[in-house]
Structure 1
Amino acid sequence: MQTIDYRRGLPAMAACFLIWGFQPLYWYMCTNVCGEIDTFFLMACRIIWAAVTCLCILKVQGKLPQLWAVFKDKQVLKRELPASVFLFGDWIVYLWAVQNGRVLECSLGYYIQPLVVFALGAVIFKEKMSWRHFIIIGIVVVGIVLSASGFGGVPYVTIALALMFAVYAAIKKSLTIDSIVSTTSEILMMVPVALLFILFFRMGDNGMGSMTVIKQLLMIGGGIITGLPMVFYSIGVRNLPLMTTGICQYLSPTLGIVCGAIMGEALTREKLVSFLFIWVGVILYVLNTVYEERRKKSAVQ
């Protein structure tokens, strides 16, 4: 039986999604302070320092033995390896989108991601879908189609982020190990690729040769804002009902819209119309989730 503690869970979950929500501003600042910094080098630095941060967190929590156990378990590795690939894909697309002024597309993707996860659950895990779910997904699909005119073409960033993270979440659903341990193992799997990339392609002025103390501190900070939210998220999940966690996750893409505005992206009429369809779908999804949870409780009583 899960212990519900809102005083402990809500602040932790809020801190998690606040950091995730305002992350675009951090990467935007890195680009401005560091000058021209390509996405792949930024990604490599993020991976390395996120791995260091996560290892420090696990050391403090005394969970390093659990991490080593992951790499000894072939059955777990069969799931963690593809999860690492999809997490890598999600990160690289996200960083590229932020650097290229497409934060609103990221927000759109993270709004619809829970619905894509639900749809995959219905297909892969044979979870039951009602007629209400089909209507909700239909409304969201309309929003995605309309976004093509608002974003000047097919919103590839939105679709890529929603699909990759949904598949990632589906893989994670089959894992029973600690969430921080799991994600740390996935990041560690990326580290050799990141190190080799820097060693062979970014040791000159286009990478390590141009690093200053300020730039390196910003790269370290990128690792911290990647790893720290995981701690807050794990605390929140342990102390909050899943339904509350599900509702809280919409804070992050909402803040992403604010970040987009700060970074100069215009929320045009066409974009706003597509977002309205997505918001309607999200609100209906949340209301339907609340309705189904209450019906389950009534059935039990």
Structure 2
Amino acid sequence: MTAMNTTTHKHLLGLKGMDGKEISDILDRAAYWEQHPTKVTNVLGGKFVANMFFENSTRTRFSFEVAEKRLGVQVLNFAAAASSVQKGESIYDTVRTLESMGIDAGVIRLKPNGVLQELAERIQVPLINAGDGNNEHPTQALLDLYTMRKHFGELKGLHVAIIGDIQHSRVARSNLWALQAVGAKVSFCAPDMMKAPELEAHAPYVTMDEALKADVVMMLRVQLERHDNALFTSADEYRAQYGLTVERLGQMPPHAIIMHPAPVNRNVEIDDELVEHDRSKIFTQMSNGVPIRMAVIERALS
């Protein structure tokens, strides 16, 4: 097995500032694992990884667990709802406790912003960000890039339009930093209340009609529950203005693909019949999460 090129920094807290070469190395390694003939290996046998989810998750948590088990890792699954966090234990003390027990790395999802960086400065084992607040979700962006590269052959020069609740989306931020690092163009489309003004200096906001001209149309989950002042009176109103409908599919270039990080609100941000359309890569993205996370775990523990 060939060695994977990595930096000496083993944490994966985010993709902002990561160069295109390192991103490409991770994608290349994921391709290696996707094509690996043996489903379960013992490459990282004897290593212990704790999956620490302080926020609910389905796809990300199970994808990491499958990736870990395919690498031969011993997995410890931690859920905040069934832990001493419910008794008032701090996130730091929880992670420090697991580190003291001998884990070799931690996969962590958190609601608050800023906590993960503080943890990484105090914890000696590598930490992998499985989503923190509305800051970043690096492995989701990596699997998105992997999906695009497999379909188009290369990423440089692609135009990716990200549509929806940009303000609260960690997926949008990680994709922005990663796509720009590899030479792709990013544009955003969102209602005014769902825009993140601080990102406008990095990528323009465009109309829905302009966004539909992109090579990749990436829809985001509508997080109306996070907005104090309702911008739309109903899901139907949002769909009419910003949803990817069957009618809007006709405005997309013939070569363009549909993506979505999931979970999907069918018939809100995307019509039900488009979720598994021939041009949709939504379930392909989920499949690609396993080899990407194998590459990331290997990066942390090798």
TM-score normalised over the length of structure 1: 0.22
Higher strand share: 2
Report which of the two has the higher share of helix: 1
TM-score, structure 2 as length reference:
0.22
